[in-house]
Amino acid sequence: MAWFVYLAECGDGSLYTGITTDPGRREPAHNAGRGAAYTRARRPVRLVHVEPAGDRGAALRREAAIKRLTRTQKDRMMALSTAEFTGFRPEALRFFRRLTRHNDREWFERHRAVYEMEVRDPMRALVEEMDVRLARIAPELVGDPRRSIFRIHRDTRFSADKSPYKTNAACQFYHHDAGRGAGQDAEGAGAGLYFQLADEDCFVGGGIWMPARKNLERIREALAESPEELDRLVRDAGFRRRFRNLEKEAMLKRLPRGYSEGHPAERWLRFRSFTAGRRLS
């Protein structure tokens, strides 16, 4: 059973925080007098912020964290819940700059509210707004806050660096046929768009990154049959002005098996990824 944390604004302007398994029923319940004693005396009540929290224990912990926020912090949380994406504030980059110096769980927990308001919530708003825009120009690409946003926790199992947190935030807009995962882990087509926010390395890009072997073979077959389409794309003046060329990441030194030197698509057959991007800072 999924649990949610919600923030409700009462008729006198005060705020009430609660947890529920059905956010859609909480506002009518509070206004019918079936909520907490606090809200019964302060009707009407309207829900101004709702967020998923996993199980009941996680919901209770998140509820306690929200209660500790200042009124200014709660007001910003409410604004982010209802407003369109308006950008990231300088505080987001400042957070990552400080996280680089204090990459430990104790520091992060003390500053979690800053991360959630300045990084996580604006990133969710960006994904939601881009999903609407992409539906008009590239409906095959999807933005979903539950799947598009990368976790800030690092996987340290096979790394000598045991720092628990990434010093950036990132999201992807994935192909609707990609299933779960990206790149080598994607099912079906793994093409999409990518955005990264960091103190000194903001980046946007797109394409298909390190596709699974069967998908890479299909791409190579298409290129071998018609290389001029990709040639035309990368020669386009607009493309070159923005991206210059495809990223030459993990290219093969030799042509893949089945293709000989001098093949019309030789230039592209060595690629293992087909991505382009540019740094914003």
Please, which contacts does 19-22 make with residues 24 or more away whose CB atoms are closer than 8 Å? 19/53, 19/56, 19/59, 19/60, 19/63
Q: What are the average pLDDT values for consecutive 10-residue runs of the chain, which has 281 residues?
A: 91 96 91 94 92 88 92 81 80 96 95 92 91 83 89 92 95 79 49 93 92 90 93 92 90 90 91 93 71
**What pLDDT is stored for residue 274 in this prediction?**
94
**What pLDDT is stored for residue 82 in this prediction?**
64
The DSSP 8-state label assigned to residue 259 in this structure reads -
Asked whether residue 28 is assigned to any structural domain, the reply reads yes
Asked whether residue 175 is assigned to any structural domain, the reply reads no
**What pLDDT is stored for residue 180 in this prediction?**
53
**What pLDDT is stored for residue 223 in this prediction?**
94
**What pLDDT is stored for residue 53 in this prediction?**
84
At 37, which CATH number? 3.40.1440.10
Residue with tokens 């919530």: 121
> Which of these three, 45, 70, 95, is where a domain ends?
70
Asked whether residue 237 is assigned to any structural domain, the reply reads yes
**What pLDDT is stored for residue 187 in this prediction?**
45
User: Does the global pTM surpass 0.75?
Assistant: no
**What pLDDT is stored for residue 134 in this prediction?**
86
Asked whether residue 4 is assigned to any structural domain, the reply reads yes
Structure tokens that stand for 2 in this block: 């999924």
Asked whether residue 80 is assigned to any structural domain, the reply reads no
CB 19 within 8 Å of CB 2: no
Work out the end-to-end distance of the chain between its first and last CA atoms, rounded to an integer number of angstroms: 43
Q: Residue 143 contacts by C-beta under 8 Å, 6 or more apart in sequence?
A: 127, 128, 130, 131, 134, 171, 173
Number of domains in the chain: 2
**What pLDDT is stored for residue 99 in this prediction?**
97
**What pLDDT is stored for residue 83 in this prediction?**
59
Residue 264, domain extent: 212-279
